[in-house]
Amino acid sequence: MNKSFFEEVYEVVRLIPQGRVTSYGAIARYLGTGKSSRMVGWAMNSSHLAATDIPAHRVVNRQGLLTGKMHFGTGDEMKNLLEKEGIEVQGDQIIHFTNCFWDPNKELL
DNA sequence: CGATTGACGTACG
DNA sequence: TCGTACGCCAATC
């Protein structure tokens, strides 16, 4: 229970199936934080520091935009990973985003 | 210890 | 429909 906000975020992100994506807000709502979606982004920022491997490239904003691609080192890293999983990405925008969207509140809950 | 920032989202005008 | 304002919590300056 008393898991830190980051821990819960990591757990949910790890549960994201390959070829699917979710949004910061979806995770935030699943954790019950609701509007504190910023914390999800902050957790993702620290995700690369975490011992566990977090597929943060599967987490995008509500628009399906790869806002955090710059944090993967190179700007092509995140897009490459998503395309490799079968997700169509044009520039920083995920195509058919709603089709690939994975809502933890709907899938897990 | 106070102010600012941050990979967001919702509300209001 | 677009632009601005606010909230949320933690980390950093």
CATH number, domain with residue A77: 1.10.10.10
Residue at token pair 């975490």 = A50
- Number of structural domains found in chain A: 1
**b or e along A77-87 (b: 16 or more beta carbons within 10 Å of the residue's beta carbon)?**
ebbebbeebeb
**Near strand B (CB < 7 A), which residues?**
A 23-26, 28, 35, 37-42, 44-45, 47-48, 56-57, 59, 61-63, 67-68, 71-72, 78
Please compute the mean of the pLDDT values over residues A71-90 and round it to a whole number: 93
What beta strand segments (E) does A20-94 contain?
Answer: 22-23, 59-60, 89-90, 93-94
Q: Quick check: A76 pLDDT over 70? A: yes
Query: Does any domain span residue A107?
Result: no
| Tokens describing residue A37 | 């979606």
Q: How confident is the model at residue A11 (pLDDT cuts 50, 70, 90)?
A: very high
Query: Does any domain span residue A85?
Result: yes
Query: Does any domain span residue A44?
Result: yes
Which nucleotide comes closest to A47 if you measure CA to C1'? B7
Query: Does any domain span residue A109?
Result: no
CA A65 – CA A46 distance, rounded (Å): 20
Domain coverage including residue A78: 5-102
Please compute the mean of the pLDDT values over residues A77-82 and round it to a whole number: 94
Task: State what percent of residues in chain A have pLDDT above 70.
Answer: 98
The answer to whether A33 CB is within 7 Å of strand C is yes
**pLDDT for res A2:** 63
Please compute the mean of the pLDDT values over residues A30-53 and round it to a whole number: 88
Please compute the mean of the pLDDT values over residues A44-61 and round it to a whole number: 92
| Tokens describing residue A106 | 């709907």
Query: Does any domain span residue A108?
Result: no
- Rounded to 5°, the CA angle A25-A27-A33 comes to 75
